[in-house]
Amino acid sequence: MPQPTALRAAGLAAVTLVAAVVAVAVTTHRGRSHRELPPAAGKWYHALAAPYPAAKPSKGACGVTIDASTMGVANPVLPCGVKLYIEYGGKQVLTQVVDRGPDVPGRQFDITRALAHNLGLNGTKTIAWRFAR
């Protein structure tokens, strides 16, 4: 019959091995740190976009509360949470779909106030956008 000390040592060795495997997996996840931006995917598309009209904070169709600090876009077709790069005025920002809309014919995106401010976008303008991986 094995000694209790030997069983305890084997158990601790197994726990240590699992912890080491998890640590290596977390640090090498996808080959990049959590601070790096995901690479862009595909070509650039162009679309009409405008800032959301000023309104009190409300919950968007994707479950995100949209207020003065929310960075995101609304689109009628793209899935909630999909990550996009938006480019306007020489600035490029990584953001995501947080709502459905717009309801204006010819316009493909509503841009939250915070994102519009970050990009320097006022009124309805043509933006460039592409998917992030």
- Domain shared by 72 and 115, yes or no: yes
The total of structural domains in the chain comes to 2
Write out the residue range of the structural domain in which residue 25 sits: 1-36
CB 114 within 8 A of CB 54: no
Report the pLDDT value the prediction gives residue 99, as an integer from 0 to 100: 96
Looking up residue 103, the CATH number of its domain turns out to be 2.40.40.10
pTM of the model: 0.70
Residues 57 and 121 in one domain: yes
Do residues 59 and 115 share a domain?
A: yes
| Sign of CA pseudo-dihedral 66, 67, 71, 75 | positive
Residue type, 53: P
Query: Hey, how many other C-beta atoms are within 10 angstroms of the C-beta on 124?
Result: 13
Whether 45 and 25 map to the same domain: the answer is no
| 111 and 59, same domain (yes or no) | yes
pLDDT tens for each residue of 71-114: 999 999 999 999 999 999 999 999 999 999 998 999 999 999 99
What are the tokens at 52? 């959301």
Position 11, amino acid:
G
For residue 83 the two structure tokens come to 């990550």
